[in-house]
Structure 1
Amino acid sequence: MDSYLALAEQVLTAQKRALSALEILRIAYREGIAPEHIHGRTQHKTLQARLSEDILRYRDGSKFYRPAPGKFFLHALRDDPVVPVSDRTPIVARRRKRDLPRHHALAFRKRLIKKEAKSGQVAMESFAKLIEHGCYHYAANSKQRASEDVLVWSFVVVVKAGHVLSYRAGPYREQRDSFMSKRVIGFYSPVIEADMTLFDQADHGVVWSGMKALASDLDLYDNLAWQALNANSKLQAVVYPENDGEADNLLAVVGFYCPEWLEPTSTRLAINDLQWIDLRTPINHLDDFDPWSQTLLPVAQRLALEA
């Protein structure tokens, strides 16, 4: 268990009542039990994200549950007579639509990206240095940005033996005309402030953000699938597409080398006509793909041929 979850378990065990992430951290600070790296103005956001992801990933197998929106408690203490009755029953949270605005979205200034971009790509070394030197900021959310903002998206390409996994994006996910009902070759999500933790600083949590998006879309939450996702996902390219058709975005392409035994499926309304595309042969109908996928097909082809 990571240090955020271990700290939450320690505080909740001592308090024997449901708490918000902010309340958990305030008690931890007061008691002097928070590790050095879990100090800071926004650490409660990271803690809340970690707790939510653990519940989403492990479901009934998680140590934690929500007895109320924004509150967390421990399954192990549900039958303790000291625990308030209101904290003993988990609520069933509806899965959030993946196209909802994500708060504190990672962004760069357009002039900086244009300076770094060569032939539509930003070198991996340059991207790492921009992160390392703190040359980024946060937009209010993924749908509210300044005209000079370039938003960063994690775009996961799933490849297996010369093939890339694709689907058609339904209206549940997409409202952009140029993307609606088009074929997509990746699973994407805006990178947000909470994605960067002590263990994900080099890429600001780009890979972590993409793993979450892929796991959510394809229900890759069982232990074997998650272990494969964790072991076989790597940041492969950073692309600045010219044919976006709207506001500027930076696509951090994460390659997931899908093992032979794993055959992804999905029941999501946003994921239609899931199928593998053979990239060992030329693509004849580029117009069938959305703008981002058209731009990223050469990257996907390279990764697929390496798989």
Structure 2
Amino acid sequence: MHSYQKQTVAVQNHTDEHVEGERQTFLRVAEIVLSKSRVPLSAGEIVDRGIEQGLFGDHTMGRTPQKSMQARLSMDILHRKTDSQFVRTGRGRFTLRTSLGAPASEPGTTAGEAQSEYVAERRVLRTPREEVLCVPESAFRDVLTFQGIDTDTPPILGQLLSESNTTYVGRAEAEVNNDAKQFITYVLVQCGQRLLFFKRSYLSRAAEFLRGSKCIGFGGHVSAADLDMLSRVDFGLSACGRRELAEELFLPDRPRRKRKVSAEASLTDKATIDLFQSVPLECLGVLNDDSSEVGRRHVAVVYRAWLPDWNTAKKLQKGDSSIKGLGWIDLSKDKVDITDFEYWSQLCLRRFYPSTLFTRARFEILNNSRFASDRILVVAGRIGSGKSETATYLSQRLHCSLVKTGELVRELMASPPISEIGREAFQTRAYEFISAEGGTKKLADAIASQIVRDGSNRTIIDGIRNLDTFEHLEKGCDGGVGLLFVQTPPDVAFDMYRAREAGTLKFSYRDFLKVYDAPVEEEISSLGRRADAYIYNSFGMEAFRRTLDELLPKMRS
């Protein structure tokens, strides 16, 4: 199983420690919990308070969530050192770095507990060293300027792959290095008009909503072991793709033979190895995804393995224990819902198999009683998702009032409008305001006051970005507060944002990420976990508006 898939299953909940969309992480829970606590807490106490506050949503955290929390905090402190927002104040006790020096003030704590940082004795775990192929930022900065897939592969790889640019780095070191990208392969398997996909289990409904439970790409890290005399011409890329296929898939050499899935067993399956060493590999493009922390550390080369014989292809079975099942898409007649697939698979499906997709957005209502009947509906989503267009459109069609929180924040801050100071400067001011003591409640009170002034039977609220603001609003308003979350792939969000606000093709994806990943946007994915309904915008506003028309009757019931 390739690194991107393995890491995102465990981490991207990004786990990637950011939001990719998108996801509530252990570190984010710790940040929220510790910001509200006047004393240092243990990992178990942080988890307990996070559960009580609903910060994990439906996330099933495994049997030992306190150990996961302890590990995440410890690794963040170890690798980021003084740049980490977390510190230890004692053995197994954590607080925010900004709280150092604050005296303990809750029952059962020791006076002065938070006065100084405790440096834990470092424990060294000896593991086998896997070296992976990497390229430094200085070599890819001016090459990987796109988000998604570029099919003009030879010049891109020609600039990235050279003895002077590439290096092999220990896997553990590479996974925490933000100044280099690791090469991985992402291989599509096709036989005639049939495309192979696999399923995997997910920890939560929210994770499934954010990333999808299906994938069409097999592959993993390009390692030093993939480089030999025969593979030197492409630095082991194709050898890696073939090796990963032989590890993740299994071709029985006798009818009905059952195989015990293990790493050792994969080395002995001659039929599987022979198949994937001989199939043609077509290089389709280079995939660059800077929308998440994990994505920013990887660059994928997309291949297509052409299986020549359906009688052989249909016998393929899973070869990796993390794969829960295989299936085939008949490209000649099947239509698939793109939101069922993880983001990298969505990119590949939209680029290489557009005719097999439902060319419309869709919605999902999880709490119909709240969504249909609540007097107040909050519309939330990332920048460029189409949330403001959604809020405006729904308010017009439902003939109800519209509250724009961006305007309220501007008034509360006494700030010039975005058109004068620019979005980045406005985001910085908004983050300072909302992070200040009482900031979230001030905004919630301002929203509630405008709802009262408008006197409408129903109100649509556009632009809440903070979970605490939403919770204050819930407590302060009668009649219930529903939440509609707009989920949009990052590359689609970029195109929509650029068309709406930038007005120029010179506006780059890196420029977009500055506003997309701004600190004031960090809690939006937490709102996604609380949503009563989701609407998926995968194809832009024209298809999206048709879906909004389908959604309207549900809101009138």
TM-score, reference length from structure 1: 0.56
**Residue of structure 2 aligned with 1:155, choices 158, 183, 186:** 186
Aligned mates of 2:320, 2:160 — CA distance in 1: 35
| Structure 1 counterpart of 2:161, from 108, 131, 154 | 131
Which consecutive residues of structure 2, in runs of 5 or more, have no partner in the other structure?
A: 1-126, 252-267, 357-557
Q: Taking structure 1 as reference, are residues 273 and 101 closer, same or farther at Cα in structure 2, changes over 3 Å only?
A: farther
State the 1:274 CA deviation: 0.7
* Structure-2 change in CA distance of 1:102 and 1:218 (3 Å): farther
Query: Hey, what does 2:233 align to over in structure 1?
Result: 202
Q: 1:136 to 1:214 in 2, by over 3 A?
A: same
2-structure distance, mates of 1:124, 1:179: 33
Instruction: Please give the residue correspondences for 1:46-125 in structure 2 after superposition, counting only pairs within 5 Å.
Output: 103-117=130-144, 119=146, 120=148, 121=150, 123-125=153-155
The structural deviation recorded for 1:245 is 5.9
Q: What is the count of residue pairs matched by the alignment?
A: 201
Aligned counterpart, 2:328: 276
The code of the aligned residue for 1:104 comes to E
Bigger helix share: 2
SS at match of 1:287: helix
Q: CA deviation at 1:259?
A: 2.3
Q: Is the CA contact 2:287–2:300 (under 8 Å) kept in the aligned structure 1?
A: yes
Paired residue for 1:255, among 304, 307, 314?
304
Larger strand proportion of the pair: 1
Whole-angstrom CA distance in 2 between matches of 1:267 and 1:179? 26
- Are residues 132 and 244 of structure 1, via their aligned partners in 2, closer, same or farther at CA, if it must alter by over 3 Å? same
- Which amino acid counterpart does residue 130 of structure 2 have in structure 1? H
Flag the structure with more relative contact order, 1 or 2, with Cα contacts below 8 A and sequence separation at least 6.
Answer: 1
CA distance in 1, matches of 2:189, 2:345: 13
Shift of residue 294 of structure 1? 1.2
In 2, Cα distance between equivalents of 1:275 and 1:258 = 15
Residue 274 (structure 2) aligned to one of 227, 243, 249: 227
Contact 1:106 1:139 in 2 (8 A): yes
- 1:141 maps to 171
Q: Find the aligned partners of 2:216 and 2:183 in 1 and give their Cα distance.
A: 18
5 Å-filtered alignment, 1:9-28, equals none
Question: 227-236 or 153-162, which moves further after superposition?
Answer: 227-236
Per-residue deviation, residues 73-126 of structure 1 (Å, max 9, x unmatched): xxxxxxxxxxxxxxxxxxxxxxxxxxx997211111235324123644262233
The percentage of aligned residue pairs carrying the same residue is 19
- Could you tell me the TM-score, scaled by structure 2's length? 0.32
Structure 1 residues 280 and 116 mapped into 2: Cα distance closer, same or farther (>3 Å)? Answer: farther
**For 1:213, what is the secondary structure of its paired residue?**
helix
1:168-187 to 2 correspondence within 5 Å?
168-170=199-201, 182-187=213-218
Q: How many angstroms does 1:218 deviate by?
A: 1.4
How far apart are the structure 2 equivalents of 1:184 and 1:299?
Answer: 15
- Determine helix, strand or coil for the equivalent of 1:115: coil
Question: Alpha carbons of 1:177 and 1:285: their partners in 2 closer, same or farther (altered >3 Å)?
Answer: closer
Larger mean Cα displacement after TM superposition, 133-142 or 208-217: 133-142
Structure 2 residue aligned with 1:81 = none
Residue of structure 2 equivalent to 1:76? none
How far did 1:133 drift?
A: 4.1
161-170 or 107-116, larger mean C-alpha shift: 107-116
State the match for 1:287 in structure 2: 339
How has the CA–CA distance of structure 1 residues 163 and 267 changed in structure 2, closer, same or farther, with 3 Å as cutoff?
Answer: same
Alpha-carbon distance between aligned partners in 2 of 1:259 and 1:127, rounded to the nearest angstrom: 28
Change in CA separation of 1:269 and 1:158 when aligned onto 2, cut-off 3 Å: same
Instruction: Single out whichever of 238-247 and 153-162 deviates more from structure 2.
Output: 238-247
Q: Deviations over 1:275-307 (max 9, x none)?
A: 0013345755222111211122245539x9xxx
CA shift in 2, pair 1:283/1:140, >3 Å: farther
Computing the radius of gyration from Cα coordinates, the structure with the larger value is 2
Structure 1: give runs of 5+ residues left out of the alignment: 1-99
Change over 3 Å in CA distance of 1:163–1:113 after alignment to 2: farther
Distance in 1 of aligned mates of 2:176 and 2:209:
20
1-structure distance, mates of 2:325, 2:167:
37
Q: Matches of 2:129 and 2:343 in 1, distance apart?
A: 22
Larger deviation, residues 215-224 vs 246-255:
215-224
Q: Is the 8 A contact 1:109 1:148 kept in 2?
A: yes
Give 2:157's aligned amino acid.
F
